[in-house]
Amino acid sequence: MRRTSFANWPCSIARTMDLLGDWWTPMVLREAFYGIKRFDAFQQELGIARNTLTDRLRRLVDEGLLEKRPYQRQPVRYDYVLTEKGRDFFGVLAAMNQWGDRWLSGEAGPPIVFHHGTCGHDSHAEVVCAACREPMTSGDTRPRLGPGYPPRLAELPDVQRRFNRPDSLDE
């Protein structure tokens, strides 16, 4: 069965989901942020099938989130190291972690906390406006067509309706 591709949709969320493809891909990236670099360590930590892990690592390398670096010659074996593009995915994982901490943690509290080395505090992700540094919420933020939205689609009545809604999304 062939899956639907969102790679060319005019939406960064859809394109990101197309890149991720399934639940294993963000888990592999999580492990990379935890310092895992070697195939066997990814496999052991995640309990993922070797063929599935091979596919996910290949895709992350092809998409530029991980880089393969040989650490052994006979036989050739590789470390999988986060690239700049891969390291930039941290914000996505941190936001997912914060949401999970709020809505899925048990009475004992969050299973993992993030320690911010710059200030020395345990903290969590927040989505803030890059311009004013105030928190962005669903109630005060709405999507608008950006410069990369295809002009031929922007003229469609359903697209116009979709992006010309009231200012508050909580209504």
Around 109, how many Cα atoms within 13 Å sit in the side-chain half-sphere? 2
- Phi/psi at 82 (nearest 5 deg)? -60, 135
Report the number of secondary-structure helices (H) and strands (E) in the chain: 8, 4
Residue 98 and residue 78 in one domain: no
Give the bridge partners for 116, in sequence order: 121
What is the reported pLDDT for 168?
46
Residue 83 and residue 16 in one domain: yes
- For the record, the structure tokens of 105 come out as 């943690």
Show the CA angle centred on residue 148, arms to residues 3 and 64, nearest 5°: 55
Residues of the chain with pLDDT under 70: 1-3, 166-171
Structural domain contains residue 72:
yes
What is the reported pLDDT for 171?
47
Report the predicted TM-score, pTM, of the whole model to 2 decimal places: 0.86
Structural domain contains residue 163:
no
* Tens-place pLDDT, residues 75-124: 999 999 999 999 999 999 999 999 999 999 989 999 999 999 999 999 99
Gap between the Cα atoms of 89 and 87, Å rounded: 5
Burial 58-96 (b: 16+ CB within 10 A, else e): ebbbeeebbbeeeeeeeeeebbbebeeebeebbeebbee
Among candidate residues 6, 158, 23, the one with its CA nearest the CA of residue 93? 23
Structural domain contains residue 131:
no
The domain total for the chain is: 2
Residue 27 and residue 58 in one domain: yes
What is the reported pLDDT for 167?
55
Last residue of a domain, one of 43, 60, 87: 87
| R_g over Cα of the chain | 20
Residue 57 and residue 99 in one domain: no
Structural domain contains residue 48:
yes
Residue 108 and residue 69 in one domain: no
Structural domain contains residue 41:
yes
Q: Which amino acid does the sequence have at 164?
A: N
Q: Which residues span the domain enclosing 51?
A: 12-87
